Amino acid sequence: MTDDSSLSPALAQALAAALASTPSRILPLSVEGRHYWLKRPEVHRTLIRRLQKGDPARALAADRAGLKRMAALGLPAPRVLAEGPDFVLTEDVGPPVATLLRDPGATDAERHAALGDAARALARLHHRGIAHGRPKIRDICWQRDRGATLIDFELFNPAADRAALVRDAVLFLHSILQQQRDRDAFFDTAAQAYRAEAPEGIWEKMQRRVDRVRWIAPLARLVLWLQPKAHEVRAALQLRRALRE
């Protein structure tokens, strides 16, 4: 375990109590008006679930390594405040962008700012040759005074090839369309921000990637006719159209 002497007594006490309780994969802690997140290995109740999700200890170790690598490079990730073999405690970095888009209390200006910041944060990673692995808008948080911060680095790739960067960017934009259900001004803000800041050639590779799967478009439309609520499929078709422009 890292030296937690830098934690306030109240936070150290809250952490000790949480670690002594029944393990939970992600546990929010609120101490002295501040918020934190305690992450522990996920407990899989069945063999099938374990096969689907993989080794929980390995996932936590990858997340920890990603957080440390991001910090070493000065890239936007939560600070690790304390850690041990089976836990990581990080600072809170605001709500996920996905939550902000659904929040009736958020303004459109905040939503546009969050999506633009998220796109630029992802582009910063890509300029360093790093792929997040799953940069959906639920895995990017935002605060007005801090901007966008990426979280959940279980699939982190610190030595990514360009194909991995393309996949990252496609997943990011697809996740916006999947939640919003349609292309709108918020999607355009994110797409334009990423395109403007992306490493050279990545946007063109994204266009070629989606164009290579044009043969599945008729099948996708059939799926939507049978399952109108197949939002993931609808988002894929919309993304292909958007990237072809």
Give the torsion through C-alpha atoms of 201, 202, 203, 207, to 10 deg: 100
Give 142's strand partners. 148
pLDDT in tens, 74-90: 999 999 999 999 999 99
pLDDT band for position 42 (50/70/90)?
A: confident
CATH top-level class of 97-243: mainly alpha
Pairing of strands 140-143, 147-150: antiparallel
Q: Does domain 9-91 have CATH number 1.10.1740?
A: no
Q: Yes or no: say if 179 and 172 are a contact pair by the CB < 8 Å rule.
A: no
Q: Yes or no: say if 83 and 176 are a contact pair by the CB < 8 Å rule.
A: no
Q: Where in the chain is the domain with CATH 3.30.200?
A: 9-91
Ramachandran sector of residue 143 (left: φ over 0; alpha: ψ -120 to 50; beta: rest) = beta
What is the per-residue pLDDT for 36?
A: 98
Order of strands, sheet of 80-84, starting from the edge strand that comes earlier in the sequence: 26-31, 34-39, 87-91, 80-84
Half-sphere exposure of 233 (CA within 13 A, CB side): 15
In single-letter form, the type of residue at position 54 comes to G
pLDDT band for position 16 (50/70/90)?
A: very high
Q: Where in the chain is the domain with CATH 1.10.510.10?
A: 97-243
What is the per-residue pLDDT for 120?
A: 98
**Which residue in the block uniquely carries the two structure tokens 């209390």?**
105
Q: pTM, whole model, 2 decimals? A: 0.89
What is the per-residue pLDDT for 10?
A: 95
pLDDT in tens, 185-241: 999 999 999 999 999 999 999 999 887 766 666 666 666 556 766 677 778 888 988
What does residue 36 show for φ and ψ, rounded to 5 degrees?
-145, 165
pLDDT in tens, 165-189: 999 999 999 999 999 888 899 999 9
Q: Which residues contact 47 (CB under 8 A, 6 or more apart)?
A: none
In single-letter form, the type of residue at position 130 comes to I
Is 241 strand, coil or helix? helix
Give CA separation, 32 vs 14, 78, 93, 145, 207, in Å: 11, 19, 16, 20, 48
